Amino acid sequence: MTQETATPMPSELPAGNARKVFIKTYGCQMNVYDSGRMADALAADGYVSTDVMDDADLVLLNTCHIREKAAEKVYSALGRLRETKKARAAEGREFMIGVAGCVAQAEGEEISRREPAVDVVIGPQTYHRLPQALRKARGGERVVDTEYALEDKFEHLPDPTRVIGKPRNVTAFLTVQEGCDKFCTFCVVPYTRGAEVSRPLAQLLTEARRLVDSGVRELTLLGQNVNAWHGEDEAGRAIGLGDLLYRLAEIPGLARLRYTTSHPRDMDDRLIEAHRDLRMLMPYLHLPVQAGSDRILKSMNRRHKAEEYIVLIERIREARPDIALSGDFIVGFPGETDEDFEATMDLVRRVNYAQAYSFKYSSRPGTPGADLPDHVDEEVKTERLARLQSLLLEQQQAFSRSMIGQTMDLLLEKPGRMPGQLIGRSPWLQSVNVDAMSSQIGDIIQVRITAAGPNSLFAEVAEG
C-alpha cells in the first residue's frame, strides 16, 4: 500500500526550453492518481515531465501522512532538495520545490517554517490551482494553499486523455470518492482529506468513456472509502457503488473493473450482487479489518465485530467463489493485549488472505487514538508484527503456489525484461511474465501458470 513512485507522466515534448517537473509520489493509489492529474495541470501550463530529478526545474513531493515515518521522510527529502536549490542558485538556474498531498494539508504553514526553501505548499483539494501558485511563487511569494476549495477541482483540471504526449496506459485509476466520515480512532484521513465527497455519476461516466477511448482496458475506482460512493442516476434515484459498477460495465471496450479501498460497513447487498453478476469485476477485494479483537475494534471505532466481518466474507465468497481477499492490519493499538493480538492471528487464519499490508500502530497527533491510555511498547509491537507478517506471507505464498497449472486471462500491460516477453496482470492482481511473441500490450490472452517467484508468476501461452 505504501510505495514510492516516480509518477509516469507526459513524455518529453520537443519544446526547446520548456520547464521540467519531477513528481515523487508517496503513499496510496489516490496519490498516484493525484500526481497524474497534477502533471496534467502542469502540462497544460507548458511543463514537461521528467523522471530524472537532476533535470527538473520543479520538484513536487506528493506526500502521505498516514504514519509518522512517512512525514519524516518528506522532511529529510526536503533537506536534500534545499541543497540542490542552493547549488542551482549559484549557477543562476531556477529550481522550485513544491509539497502537495496529505502532509501539505496537515502541516500547512509549518512546512514553510521548518523548510524555508519550499516555494509552494498545496493540499489535495486545491491542486488544480498549482499553475497559479507557481506563478505567484515565481514572483517571490511563498504560497500555502490548503483551503477546502469551494469549486470542484475535477471540473478545473484538464481532461486526462487530452494531455499531449501522455503515454497510453492500458490500466487507469479513476477517483470516484474522496475523504472519509468514518473516524477510525487511529486515522488522520478524515482530517487531511476531509469529509466524504462523491463525484457525480455523469462526470465519472464521461471520464471513464474518455479513458477507454484512449486505450484503457482496466479501470480501478479509487476512494479512501470507495464503497461509500453514492450518487443519483438520470432518474434521480439514489445509487451506490454497486450500481456504478453495473453502469461502467456497459462501456464498450472496457474489459476489467476493480475498486479500492473499502470499509466492511459499506459492503451492501448491491455491491455483493455486482461481484456475483459482473464477470469483468475482478475477483480480488481489498477489505481491511485492522484487528481481530472486538474490544480493539470498538476502541478503533470500526463499528463492526470480528464475527460480522467473517460472515460478510462468507457472503462475498458465496457470490464469487474465486474471490481473493486482501486486507490491512494494525498491531499494537493502545490497550492491545497478547490475547487481543491472538484474536487477530485467529481471524487471519480463518479468512486466509491472498495479500495483506500490516503496520505497527503509529500515534498520530490530533486523532483520538493518540490520547488513549496504555500505549504498547515498541518491542512488543515489533514482535507482534513479525509474527503476523510471517503468517500473512505463508498465506500469500500458498496462494501464489496454488496458481501453478491454472489457466487464466492475462491483461498485457508492458514489455518484460527479455525480448518477446510481456508482463501482465492476473485477475488476482498478480504480476505475470509470459513469452508472447505474437501478442500486444492491451491484449487479454489465456495463459497457463508454470512457476511462482517471490513477487511474480511465470506463464506460457495456453493452447487454443
Name the residue nearer to ligand SF4 (CB basis): 146 or 185. Answer: 185
How many residues interact with ligand 5AD (rule CB under 6 A)?
13
Buried b (16+ CB within 10 A) or exposed e, 377-408: eeebbeebbeebbebbeebbeebbeebeeeeb
CA distance linking residue 114 with residue 104, whole number of Å: 12
In the complex, minimum distance from the CB of residue 233 to ligand 5AD, in angstroms, rounded to a whole number: 30
Cβ neighbours, 10 Å, residue 72: 11
User: Under the criterion CB under 6 A, does residue 388 sit at the interface with ligand 5AD?
Assistant: no
Q: How far is the CB of 224 from ligand SF4 (least distance, A)?
A: 4
Phi, psi of 19 (to 5 degrees): -75, 150
Name residues contacting ligand SF4, limited to 189-228 (CB under 6 A): 189-190, 224-225
Residues 360 and 328: beta-carbon distance below 8 Å: no
Report the partner that residue 180 touches, choosing among ligand 5AD, ligand SF4, none (CB closer than 5 to 8 A by kind). ligand SF4
Least distance CB 375 / ligand 5AD (angstroms): 12
Least separation, in Å, of the C-beta of 365 and ligand 5AD? 10
Task: Give 169 or 175: the residue with its C-beta nearer to ligand SF4.
Answer: 175
Site string for ligand SF4, 26-65 (x = CB under 6 A): ----------------------------------------
**Cα 45–50–51 angle (5° rounding)?**
145
Q: Select from 198, 362, 430, 439 the one that contacts ligand 5AD (CB under 6 A).
A: 362
Q: Does 182 bind ligand SF4 (CB under 6 A)?
A: yes
The residue type at 312: L
Residues 6+ away with beta carbon under 8 Å from 422: 412, 413, 414, 415, 416, 433, 434, 436, 439, 441
Q: Is 57 annotated as a binding residue?
A: no
| Of the residues 330, 356, 376, 457, which one makes contact with ligand 5AD according to CB under 6 A | 330
Task: Give the ranges where 402-454 is alpha helix by DSSP (H).
Answer: none
* Cell numbers given for 159: 481532461
**At 23, which amino acid appears?**
I
Cβ-based neighbours of 149, under 8 Å, separated by 6 or more? 125, 126, 128, 129
288 lies in the site for ligand 5AD, by CB under 6 A: yes
Burial classification of residue 189, based on how many CB atoms lie within 10 Å of its CB (0-12 exposed, 13-18 middle, 19 or more buried): buried
Residue 169 or 290: the one with the smaller Cβ distance to ligand SF4 is 290
Interacting residue with ligand SF4 among 111, 120, 184, 222 (CB under 6 A) = 184
- Asked if 114 contacts 137 with a C-beta cutoff of 8 angstroms, the reply is no
Query: Does 102 count as an annotated binding residue?
Result: yes
Q: Does 264 bind ligand SF4 (CB under 6 A)?
A: no
Residue pointed to by grid coordinates 479509487 = 222
**Which entry of ligand SF4, ligand 5AD, none binds 67, CB below 5 to 8 A by partner kind?**
ligand 5AD
Among 187, 291, 385, 452, interactor with ligand 5AD by CB under 6 A:
187
Q: Shortest gap between Cβ of 197 and ligand 5AD (angstroms)?
A: 19
- Which residues would be at the binding site for ligand 5AD (CB under 6 A)? 1, 66-67, 186-187, 288, 290, 328, 330, 359, 361-362, 364
- Which residues would be at the binding site for ligand SF4 (CB under 6 A)? 180, 182-184, 187, 189-190, 224-225, 263
